[in-house]
Amino acid sequence: MTAALTVTALEAGYEPGLPILRGASLNVRTGDIVAILGPNGAGKSTLIKAIAGLVPITAGRVHLGAQDITATPAHLMVRQGLGFVPQTENVFADLSVADNLDLAVAILKLAKKTRLAEIYALFPDLARQRRLMAGQLSGGQRQMLAVARALVVSPRVLMLDEPSAGLSPRLVALVFEKLVAIKRSGVTIILVEQNARAALAIADQAVILVEGKERLVGKARDLADDPQVAALYLGQAGGGRH
């Protein structure tokens, strides 16, 4: 299978001379869900933010398909087909649900009616609440809107930063169910998660990141079944909850 996204020896950080990523590499196959796991401070969120153009890259390359997007500004990444859902503050609270979705479509000059119809079919709750301000939505609904906002521009690769954070187990299950449905529509997904067990349950591949570099890469099922991996990197908190 071809690579949807390739990251090679990436070094990146928020402050000059203080890299968080120290040569991280990643090879994401088209159509896969890849879970990025690891302890706190491993650089998981920084990795996808750097890919999205939100954290300065000091070394290494990022390719989306065959295209080098290492130096592409964040707003142009969306046009290239890279979607990103931040962990928090991931909707425009003072805009309506409809405006949150319309804005991205209008900026990219996409066929509005078709795209919105597809999105509302996938997220029927949002269709019912399209006139509400995004800030009035519940945590779970906000997360759905955040995913829908990134999805409305038809990304090839969708990156999500801890989409389960702050959600109840029932809502986490619902969000992850949607991610599986999105994957089935042909979108490649990169998922940064603290809830490792839940992420591994839907992922095809997994990468365990430690100190800014990948420590383990493999099939999600294999990593989930490996007791040593579970003890060292997945933690007790993730065990057996989902």
- Site for other proteins, rule CB under 8 A: 52-54, 73-75, 77-79, 83-84, 86, 89-95, 99, 102-104, 106-108, 149-150, 153
Pick the closer one to other proteins by CB: 15 or 170.
15
Q: Where are the alpha helices (DSSP H) in the chain?
A: 44-51, 74-80, 97-107, 112-122, 124-128, 139-151, 169-184, 196-202, 220-225, 227-229, 235-238
Closest CB 85 distance from other proteins, rounded Å:
8
DSSP 232: I
Write down how long the chain is: 242
Pick the closer one to other proteins by CB: 93 or 231.
93
Question: Residue 169 and residue 128: Cα distance in Å, rounded?
Answer: 23
Closest CB 224 distance from other proteins, rounded Å:
30
Pick the closer one to other proteins by CB: 26 or 145.
145
Pick the closer one to other proteins by CB: 99 or 226.
99
Closest CB 194 distance from other proteins, rounded Å:
20
Closest CB 52 distance from other proteins, rounded Å:
6
Pick the closer one to other proteins by CB: 1 or 71.
71
Closest CB 231 distance from other proteins, rounded Å:
35
3-class DSSP state of 10: strand
Question: Residue 148 and residue 179: Cα distance in Å, rounded?
Answer: 11
Among residues 61, 210, 226, 156, the alpha carbon closest in space to that of 218 is found at 226
